[in-house]
Amino acid sequence: MAWDFETDPEYQELLDWADEFVRTEVEPLDYVFPNPYDKSDKEAMDYVRPLKEEVKRRGLWACHLGPELGGPGFGQLKLALLNEILGRSSWAPSIFGCQAPDTGNAEILAHYGTEAQKAKYLQPLMDGDIGSCYVMTEPQGGSDPTLFKTTAVRDGDEWILNGEKWFNSEARHASFWIVMAVTNTDVSPYQGMSMFIVDPSAPGVEIVRNITVHGFSEDEAYTRFTNARIPAENMLGAEGGAFAIAQTRLGGGRVHHAMRTVAQVRKAFDMMCERVISREARGGTIAKLQMTQERIADSWIEMESFRLLVLRTAWLIDKHQDYLKVRKDISAIKAAMPKVMHDVAQRALHLHGSLGVSEEMPLAKMFLYSEVMGLVDGPTEVHKVTIAKEVLKDYTPYEGLFPPSHIPALTEKARAHVAARLEHRVGNL
């Protein structure tokens, strides 16, 4: 067995190329074209097409997928190293074919879709020709599926969909939606929900309004279904199987968010360091002030600790090939992610002074991004509960009045052990 903190030389060459490519060709797009999901922006789509072809030529397209689905099959650990680069730019994931929410939607289509569904939706999605939307959360229930009220009722060869959904990413730019709905109210929500592929242009399907997060160009949608008829063949997976499908999707999505957040944290950290060694105050740079040095030190420790936790989790997923076996670790990086992002972005913003809170720097957006990451794919509180439950499974309650670490009992046991050894030694003289 070998322990190493470096990837293989061949992949490192690809990472070095990606780093330079993103810096010179992709990051500038963030300041020119507002939304990578808007495929109606012909100028933007024409511009990025050759960039996507170059990525494909390098063998780095759709790295989240295995060879059987058209990806290189690098695994989660190598994907994490790549996402540390791609996370710097809002356009980079789309240029490399691994943008959310399409990555998760492609994964569940690959695992649960019929051959007809794969041909119609999966292949165009993987090729980057269309976009998708994951429609799960609801206004009254947030991300808690046990409170969902959107229903689908079978009517011959169709399902009739009714209800409202909330905060559905890029719904207006998507060619299809994957919708989670209650199909059986007589059983537990864990067995009574199903997923459907929905055409957003179908009668009864509407976007009530599009919502934007402060500082972000991407859309979230408030959607409504009013007696929308969905063909029975559009059910994704088995009836009642929505929870299993959701976990397949959300497990990977949470890890990918964390991978990209590593890049955002480092970006904020780099801006902080550049600022403090350049800004003059009281006869020297603010880097010489101890409170500044403390902020730099705390940020570096948190950033590097978080990165190692993300990489270890990716390694565990590759090892076990089962998200459920890594549930605790995935929840851990999901819970750690918003705090690390918040702390580093806040320090960087503060050290930039008034410039930091202005729209002329991205730090206020990064600060808000930390809270977004604390909400998407389940709030931080839920994941902390999961961590605690998973950790406590490895412990058993003790019997008796006092705990196993009770010093008087341990002392008595230790003395008896030592006395027995001494008696044995004397007996052998």
pLDDT tens digits, residue range 408-417?
999 999 999 9
**Looking at the predicted structure, is the pLDDT value of residue 424 above 80?**
no
Whether 301 and 344 have beta carbons less than 8 Å apart is answered as no
Res 1: pLDDT: 60
Label residue 212 by pLDDT band (50, 70, 90).
Answer: confident
Q: Which amino acid is at 286?
A: I
Distance CA 286, CA 415 (A): 59
Query: 219 or 428, which is more confident?
Result: 219
Q: Where are the domains of the chain?
A: 9-99, 132-236, 244-392
Residue 209 predicted with pLDDT over 90 = yes
Q: For 132-236, CATH number? A: 2.40.110.10
pLDDT band at 4 (very low <50, low <70, confident <90, very high): confident
pLDDT tens per residue across span 15-25 = 999 999 999 99
Residue 168 CA, chain-centre distance (Å), reads 15
Cα separation, 377 vs 148, whole angstroms: 15
Are β-strands 280-281 and 284-285 bridged in parallel, bridged antiparallel, or unpaired?
antiparallel
Q: Look up the CATH architecture of domain 244-392.
A: Up-down Bundle (1.20)
Percent pLDDT > 90 in the chain is 79
Position 80 scores a pLDDT of: 94
Rounded distance between C-alpha atoms, residue 364 and residue 176, angstroms? 33
Rounded to an integer, what is the distance from CA 395 to the centroid of its chain? 29
Q: 47-88, pLDDT tens digit by residue?
A: 999 999 999 999 999 988 888 777 888 999 999 999 999 999
The neighbouring-strand residues paired with 223 are 165, 207
Q: Residues with Cβ < 8 Å from 28, sequence gap 6 or more?
A: none
pLDDT score for 44: 96
| Residues 291-337: tens digit of each pLDDT | 999 999 999 999 999 999 999 999 999 999 888 899 999 999 999 99
Q: Indicate the average pLDDT of the chain.
A: 93
Q: Could you tell me which residue, 420 or 301, shows the higher pLDDT?
A: 301
Question: E strand or H helix at 246, and its extent?
Answer: helix 242-276
Q: Which residues are paired to 280 by β-bridges?
A: 285
With 70 as the cut, is the pLDDT of residue 238 above it? yes
> Which of these, 51, 52, 58, 62, lies nearest to 15 by C-alpha position?
58
Number of continuous H segments (helices) and E segments (strands) in the chain: 14, 10
CA 28 to chain centre: 24
Q: Where does the pLDDT of residue 429 fall: very low under 50, low under 70, confident under 90, or very high at 90 and above?
A: low
Is 244-392 the same fold as 132-236?
no
In this structure, of 93-102, 263-272, 304-313, the range with the lowest mean pLDDT score is 93-102
pLDDT at 426 over 80: no
Q: Which of 219 and 105 is assigned the larger pLDDT?
A: 105
Residue 338's pLDDT is 96
Q: Quickly state the pLDDT bin for 2 (edges 50, 70, 90).
A: low
Buried b or exposed e, range 251-275, using 16+ CB within 10 angstroms: bbbbbbbbbbbbbbbbbbbebbbeb
Would the pLDDT of 281 be above 70? yes
Phi-psi label, residue 86: left if phi above 0, alpha if psi -120 to 50, beta otherwise: alpha
Q: What is the mean pLDDT of residues 169-183?
A: 96
Given a cut of 90, whether residue 193 has pLDDT beyond it is yes
Could you count the other beta carbons within 10 Å of the beta carbon of residue 146?
A: 11
Locus of tokens 């046990």: 146
In the CATH scheme, what architecture does the domain 9-99 have? Answer: Orthogonal Bundle (1.10)
The DSSP H or E segment spanning 197 is: strand 193-198
Please give the distance of CA 310 from its chain centroid, rounded to a whole number: 11
Closest C-alpha to 54, from 95, 16, 103: 95
Q: Report the SS3 class of residue 16.
A: helix
Check: CB of residue 240 under 8 Å from CB of residue 228: no
Say which residues have a Cβ less than 8 Å from residue 397's Cβ, sequence separation at least 6: none
Tens digit of pLDDT for each residue in 137-152? 999 877 788 899 999 9
Q: What is the pLDDT of residue 70?
A: 72
Alpha-carbon distances, residue 66 vs 23, 71, 106, 111, 321 (angstroms) = 27, 5, 12, 12, 12
As a whole number, mean pLDDT of residues 280-286 equals: 90
Please, are residues 93 and 261 in contact by the beta-carbon 8 Å criterion?
no
Return the SS3 of 198.
strand
Give the DSSP letter of residue 142.
Answer: B
Largest CA distance in the chain: 95
Burial status of residue 167 (CB atoms within 10 A of its CB: 0-12, 13-18, 19 or more): buried
pTM for the complete prediction?
0.90
pLDDT over threshold 80, residue 248: no
Structure tokens given for 197 = 């592929």
The pLDDT value given to residue 103: 86
Report the alpha-carbon distance of residue 146 to residue 124 in Å, rounded: 33
Residues 350-391: tens digit of each pLDDT? 999 999 999 999 999 999 999 999 998 889 999 999 999 999
Backbone angles phi, psi at 323, to 5 degrees: -60, -30
Residue 321 neighbours by CB distance under 10 Å: 10
Angle at CA of residue 144, ends 161 and 98, nearest 5°: 80
Q: Is the pLDDT of residue 176 over 70?
A: yes
- Other CB atoms within a 10 A radius of the CB of residue 164 amount to 15
Inter-residue contact 26 to 55 (CB < 8 Å): no
